[in-house]
Amino acid sequence: MTRSPAVPDTDADGVPRGQAVLDRLVQLLDLEQLEVNLFRGVSPPESPTRVFGGQVAGQALVAAVRTVPDDRAVHSLHAYFMRPGDPRVPIIYETERVRDGRSFTTRRVLAIQHGEAIFALSASFQLAEDGLEHSEPAPSDVPAPDSLLTVGERVVRGDDAGWLARTPRPIDMRFVDEPAWSTARDGGTDAPVRVWMRADGTLPDDPLLHVCLLTYASDMTLLGSVVARHDVPGDRLQMASLDHAMWFHRPFRADEWLLYSCYSPSASGSRGLATGRFTTLDGRLVATTVQEGLVRLRRS
């Protein structure tokens, strides 16, 4: 695979990005098969203290995909995060072939570490069919992604990008609005948090790989929309994903720009609900996400 020479190998703050970093993510999603229905995945060496939720979700979906006929595409997934993942040891993915019907195929995947389940996923696949077609209008008056700052440029500007400031960036993210971690944010807002995303390089043509990459990326900013509605510093919050659901509506490429519009309709009981929509540059709605997460105020 080749990449455009116009895209640098490091972001403005010196953090690695680009094709080489993206290739490592693709390799991370390429699970080792141990036995029928049994797979093993690992975490990157620069992982934080717990496994990134998008990683385990993406790897679990790969484990499900490996047991499904090639003529069926994933249309939905529902998952629960049960325990923090340990990035120092491999993750075992056990796939259950729940149902193989004429049109739909269902799989369940359990991610296991240290003899305990850390994550569970159910995914449904469908044979391609024609039917009714409609979609909500795309967001309007959104700046083009190339006109917006990269994460590295925000860091150079003086923002504290949290864990995004310390790890390689296989996903190019351009925030339309100030993210929850931005020092330029002026209090809470009821507006959605919008960010352009794309895999930072060129991906193979395998459609299921693009779905798995989007599953990985979908966990990167979604819960931040809960925080964005409040004027609370990030260091006062304990946050973790509790569950995650996605619906894939239309074909797309994860290495082309997608607008991720995230909004939190509710927060209560130290939990926040976040919704997200992925829209292409030409206005097609291609995926919808919903996540509930732990958003707990730390005691001072």
Which of 113, 218, 264, 291 is labelled catalytic? 291
Q: Which of 216, 187, 244 is nearest to 58 (CA)?
A: 216
Task: Go through the chain and tell me how many residues it has.
Answer: 300
Which of 241, 255, 261, 264 is labelled catalytic? 241
Q: Which of 219, 111, 119, 237 is nearest to 171 (CA)?
A: 219
Please give the DSSP secondary-structure letter assigned to residue 13: T
Active site residue 200: no
Which of 55, 219, 225, 264 is labelled catalytic? 219
Q: Which of 16, 21, 15, 28 is nearest to 1 (CA)?
A: 21
Active site residue 141: no
Active site residue 126: no
Q: Residues with Cβ < 8 Å from 226, sequence gap 6 or more?
A: 264, 267, 272, 273, 274, 293, 295
Tell me how far apart the alpha carbons of residues 205 and 203 are, in angstroms, rounded to a whole number. Answer: 6
Q: Which of 153, 221, 159, 148 is nearest to 184 (CA)?
A: 159
Q: Which residues does the annotation mark as catalytic?
A: 219, 241, 291
